[in-house]
Amino acid sequence: MNSSSAPAFVDCAGIETALPATATVFNYDDLQFPLIIEKQGSGAASHDALQQWIDTNSEQIEWHHDQVGAVLFRNFDLFSSDDFDRFIRAFDLPNFTYKESLSNAVRVNRTERVFTANEAPPDVNIVMHHEMAQTPIYPSRLLFFCEKAAEIDGATPLCRSDVLLQRLEEQEPELVRNCEAHGLKYSSEMPADSDESSGQGRSWSSTLGVSNMKEAERKLADLGYDWAWIDGDCLRVTTPVLPAIRELDSGRRTFFNQLISAAYGWKPVNGKPAVCYGNGAAIPDGSLKAIADCVEALSFDLDWQQGDVALINNFLVMHGRRSFQGTRRVLASLVA
């Protein structure tokens, strides 16, 4: 990365923006992470003005999405799921629908492109992960919108996965070698009916987009999964071997997986950890703790303000959710 090549944002159509300098962001190669773009003034911008600003600055936004990994838009006069939907559509990005995804989180659609980020209870910490990296099908980028910030806590932590991998190569080289050589396999149990009290409580029929067991088995076979039906018409599945490290078009490598999320946030499956190396070997507890410690040290807590939108590069940046008190409504949209 070369910060001198970072394109400048352009004010237009009555929309002026600033990149506020703040000590709370991280800095990698002289680029702020995340990049914060704040609209100046309190006057509401029209939809046409917002569209023109996005069109004019699309190259700049895309550059920072690719290089920095997370862009926060603040004070852009967005208040509802419909406002968020219009903001997303202004970018003209391909939709990755929740319905057709293999996400194990329970979510509720607000519009065709917008849904709740997760229905898990406030006291549940959602461990850091790349979205749907525990499946063969995942989005390239995410957008989050703060409809209402929690009264206490509720931040969305963000972690640069390329920086994390560099740290792990220094501290846990054997772990990295095993991840590269063997990949990972994930196991989980899907309920017959969706369970909103769980961070991974989506039913197997909803997850797989099927209406009966035979259809579920055909879908799993096509995906390369192993499976077994268990008590209560629940479904136990194990993924094929999936990569744990990803090389981006830029040549950067990232720790692209759901390893610590599955290890610390998922229930054991049939008495065994929910994630293992692709050859079936267990991942040592010490290595898991080292990953978690590195992630925590490198995580930036995005403390939401009402109306914020975060654009996140799913291949470059991990995210999670801190527990909270009060009412918190963060909505999401995925891009193919």
Rounded to whole angstroms, the Cα distance separating 43 from 48 reads 14
Question: How many CA atoms within 13 Å lie on the side-chain side of 243?
Answer: 11
Rounded to whole angstroms, the Cα distance separating 236 from 125 reads 24
Residues of the chain with pLDDT > 70: what percent?
97
The whole-model pTM stands at 0.94
Q: How confident is the model at residue 132 (pLDDT cuts 50, 70, 90)?
A: very high
Rounded to whole angstroms, the Cα distance separating 17 from 75 reads 10
pLDDT at 1 over 50: no
- Quote the tokens at residue 98: 């929740």
Q: What is the pLDDT of residue 197?
A: 65
| Chain segment 89-99, per-residue pLDDT in tens | 999 999 999 88
Taking every pair of C-alpha atoms in the chain, what is the biggest distance, in angstroms?
Answer: 61
